[in-house]
Chain A
Amino acid sequence: MTTREERFEALAREVIEPVRRFLARRTDADTAEEALADTLLVCWRRLDDVPDPPLPWVYGVARLTLANAERARGRRRRLEERLAAEPVPMPDPDLDPDGALASALAALPDDQADLLRLWAWEGLEPRDIAVVLGIGANAVSQRLRRAQQRLRDLMAQARHDPGPAGHEQGERRRP
């Protein structure tokens, strides 16, 4: 066993489970598995570039790998097929009784929703989100605040005016 292999195994032990979750949150099981393998391959090949702590950087790799995988496999078509075939797994309805939060998150622009997911689901702070996205930490902080405010506004709006328009996305996610 070489030092390089030992280093990679230590890295893999640290990142595999978080990255697996990261991918499971964002794509189907097959694509997640493929993207995990590709992400590890990038880590293996760029082992000398992996910073400490590694996880935000590896999330960034996984994010790009996933984008490539989904482009390659025709994400839109598969997503539509998936939505038609099965409901997107949703958490316990008791945790979001009126669906306002899930609806608001789904209604956000992609970049704002991405920020909030990294913040809440991966549990990352702005400085780490900055590494994932390859942008400055100050920009992340500002955008995160705007996304949080936008999310609150959408929730308030949905609760105040629970018409079909306000729940369009939520209705789709909860067939």
Chain B
Amino acid sequence: MTDEHPGHSDRPDQPGDPEDGALRDALARLDPAAALTPADPARTARLVEDTMAAPETDPTHTRTPLLAAIVAVVVLLAAVAGFSALRDDTPEEPASATGTATASASTSASASASASPSPEAATVLTLPEAAAARCPAPTAEVLGNAAVAVAGTVESITDGVATVAVDEVFTGDPGTTLEIQAPSAEFRARLAAVDLREGGRYLLAGTDDGRLLVCGFSGAYDADLLALYQQAFPR
């Protein structure tokens, strides 16, 4: 590593021109931090501790909690509209006009029995915060409260987003594509709860606030989980 303090003679690729060395030394003497005393070790230690107390979120997503919250709200609105529609047996309404990918996450009265998803943009579900990911027993009764429940195949996992091609809808109207989002740094660990892999087929359920149900409610497509879905969403 290059030495922090300039003006030393042992730089490995010091330009050969002695004038450059003289110029560099002259500039180094103008260093405004030359008189800066070292930081207080106790304060530095506290700074390091405080830093490590922060969530290990990917920096490219440092501002996404707000975005995720907006997404969750949009999906929530869509889901609430959907539940209302189901209960009231009223006609389909657009969930929102925000123009985001989730704006099309509207639900329709007929969606719960639909086996051919509507050709809309992706519905977004976010993986829950670890602290919030408590696990109720995976019963059909609990699963029946899900706003969205589908079977689908993971087409890709990129930048903290798993894109799922929906091939069967148990409830809700997620469109043809479902996106499972999570901050990158936490994504692998969170996905491990569901073990999403490219090419795999899964049964996935989301809550009415746009969060993926984990803890045994979402997982690889198999006979046991399919039975739970069929029990929760009888045709």
Contacts and interface: CB of A to CB of B under 8 A. Distances in A.
Given A91-B31, A120-B6, A45 B47 contact: no
Contacts of B33: 21, 24-25, 121
A102 interface: yes
Interface in B18-54: 20, 23-34, 36, 38-39, 44, 47-48, 50-52, 54
A120 B56 contact: no
Given A16-B44, A42-B59, A128-B2, A91 B29 contact: yes
Interface residues of B, number: 42
A152 B23 contact: yes
B18 to A, nearest CB: 13
Given A4-B56, A45-B62, A96-B29, 13 more contacts: A21-B4, A21-B36, A36-B47, A37-B50, A41-B51, A95-B26, A95-B29, A95-B30, A116-B27, A119-B27, A123-B2, A123-B28, A124-B2
Interface of A: 4-5, 8-9, 12, 16-18, 20-21, 24-25, 36-37, 40-46, 53, 55-56, 88-92, 95-96, 101-102, 105, 116-117, 119-128, 148, 151-152
Interface of B: 1-8, 11-14, 20, 23-34, 36, 38-39, 44, 47-48, 50-52, 54-59, 62, 185
26 contacts: A16-B39, A16-B47, A17-B38, A18-B4, A20-B39, A21-B33, A24-B32, A24-B36, A25-B33, A40-B48, A40-B51, A41-B54, A45-B56, A45-B58, A55-B1, A91-B29, A91-B30, A91-B32, A96-B30, A120-B6, A120-B28, A120-B30, A121-B27, A122-B4, A123-B28, A124-B2
